[in-house]
Amino acid sequence: MDGLSRSDRGTRERRRGKTSRESVPEAERAPGVGARGEAERAVGERGLLSGHAGSTAGERGLLSGHAGSTALRVASLSVAYGNVTAVHDASFTVADGAACAITGPNGNGKSSILMGITGMVRRKGTVEVFGAAAPNGDVRWMARHGLTLVPERRQLYPDLSAWDNVILGCYTWTRSIATARNSAPFGRAIELFPELKPHLRQVAGTLSGGQQQMVAIARGLAANPKILAVDEPCLGLAEAVAQRVYEALAGIHADGTTLIIVEEAPKRALTLCSQRVEVRNGVTA
């Protein structure tokens, strides 16, 4: 709980500084964050018991000031690998500013849904991001339209430094290293995990699992996403590190970024997410 309030404070400080990239006035948002901090704590406690924390969802939608607008709409999405259909006819929508958990046992197609949405694999069905229909199999389009994936097993560039890994997130919107270095998203990404600072020059392959996950999330954030899709962020991490990762995700969410989190164990995801998409045997429930 301590951690949560710390991250919220950090978020507020950052917003007061330079990184606010949305037009929502400071005055409107700042109190909201505090209130949301409370709400989150409430969800955190309730989430453990009930699983669905429906009541806070509306509250959050109002607070983020985008109630009603849809960030992501997925309709009859199917993904197949050869003859094996991993996802069958999945449909759901995620509201702007919401946090959505995609849960279900391993091997039931959760990751495949994300892969299909982002275009990493070919899909059937439609995917719309803020109302724009996404072309099939075009990851770059997705990245440019604000949906960034933090993939399962992180997929870093092991021989590049952590700093290089993070700045490559900026490749989605710029080709100039100078622009990237001085940009707000990059600054925000680098500041996201202060404990990563001493390791930024280190080659990513030699970082610990937790540090690598942090680099992956920071890279995702450097892409300046409106929607951040995180696939199994805590796989193989110790409990305390997983908590730290979730703190950071909560901070990103508090900044107004829509979150989609794929988790096998819904418990932790539902401390943060108000919406839950359950996947069983490739079918959404």
Partner 1 sequence: MKLGNLIIAGVVTGSIYATFAVCVAVWYRVSNILNLAVGDFAMVGALCVDSLYRVRGLPLWAAIITTLLIVSVFAWLYDIIVLRLAVDGRGRAEGIVLTFFFTFALSFFIDGVAKMAFGSDVHAAPALWNGASIAVADLHVARAGILVLACALLIGGLFWVYIRFTLGGKALEASGENALGARIVGIDTRRYRRWIFVGTAVIAAVFGIVESPITGYTYLSGATISLTGFLAAAYGGFRKPGRALLAGLFIGVLEALLGGYVSAEYGTTVMYAILAALVLAWPRGLGFESAVSG
Partner 2 sequence: MNRVAGLRGMGLGPTALVLVAGAAIVLIWGQEYAGSVFVLSACYAIVTAGMAVQIGFSQQIAFSQSVFMGAGAYGVALLNGNLGMSVLEATPLVMIGAGIAAFALGVVVTRASGLALAVATLMLPLIAVGYVTSASYLGGAVGQPLTGTLWPGDSQASVAVGGGLVVVAFLAIAVFVASRVLRSDIGLELFVLGVDERTAAAMGVRTPRRKLELFVLGCVFASLGGAAYAGTQQFVPETIVDPTAELALLIMLFIGGRRSIIGAVVGALVIQYLQGASSWVSVNILVVEGVVLTVVLLVDAEGLAGIATAAVAWLRGRLGGSGAGGPSTRSHSGSRGPLTRSIRGWRAIDRQATRGSGAIDAELSVPEGPATRGEAAVPRGSDASDPALDQRDGASAPLSPARGQALLEVRGIGKEYGGLTVLDDVSISLPSHGLFGLCGPNGAGKSTLLNVIGGSVRAERGQVLLNGTDIGRRPPHERFDLGISRTFQAVHLVKGRTVLDNVAVSCLASHHASIITRITRSRLADARAKAATALRDLGLADIQDREVSSLTLEAQRMVELARAMAPEPRLLLLDEPASGLSEEQRQRLAVTLSQLAARTCVLLVEHDLDLVAQVSERIFVLSQGRLVFDGDPEGFRASPVVTSLLVGL
Q: Is 203 near partner 1 (CB under 8 A)?
A: no
- The answer to whether the CB of 158 falls within 8 A of the CB of 203 is yes
Chain residues 138-177 in contact with partner 2, contact rule CB under 8 A: 153
| DSSP at 80 | E
- The answer to whether the CB of 248 falls within 8 A of the CB of 214 is yes
Residues contacting 90, CB < 8 A, separation 6+: 74, 76, 77, 78, 109, 113, 125, 277, 279, 282, 283, 284
Spacing of C-alpha 139 from chain mean position? 16
Determine the interface stretch with partner 2 among 95-103, 113-121, 126-134, 236-244 (rule: CB under 8 A). 236-244
What is the separation, in whole angstroms, between the first and last Cα of the chain? 31
Contact pattern from residue 105 through residue 124 relative to partner 2, giving x for each residue in contact according to CB under 8 A and a dash for the rest? xxx-----------------
Determine the interface stretch with partner 2 among 12-20, 59-67, 219-227, 234-242 (rule: CB under 8 A). 234-242
Q: Is 206 near partner 2 (CB under 8 A)?
A: yes
> Binding partner of residue 120 among partner 2, partner 1, none, CB under 5 to 8 Å per kind?
partner 1
User: From CA 200, how far away is CA 226, in angstroms rounded?
Assistant: 25
3-state class (DSSP) for residue 74: strand
Q: Is 240 near partner 2 (CB under 8 A)?
A: yes
Contact pattern from residue 149 through residue 178 relative to partner 1, giving x for each residue in contact according to CB under 8 A and a dash for the rest? x-x--xxxxxxx---x--xxxxxx-xxxx-
Closer CB to partner 1, residue 161 or residue 281? 161
Q: Is 137 near partner 2 (CB under 8 A)?
A: no
Instruction: Give residue for tokens 């669905």.
Output: 52
10 Å Cβ neighbour count for 157?
A: 15
111, 112, 148, 224: which one binds partner 1 (CB under 8 A): 148
| DSSP at 134 | P
Q: Is 83 near partner 1 (CB under 8 A)?
A: no
Closer CB to partner 2, residue 26 or residue 81? 81
> Binding partner of residue 195 among partner 2, partner 1, none, CB under 5 to 8 Å per kind?
partner 2
Determine the interface stretch with partner 2 among 124-132, 137-145, 203-211, 251-259 (rule: CB under 8 A). 203-211
Q: How many CA atoms lie within 13 A of 20 on its CB side?
A: 14
Where on the chain is the footprint of partner 2 (CB under 8 A)? Answer: 105-107, 153, 195, 206-211, 235-241, 244, 264-265
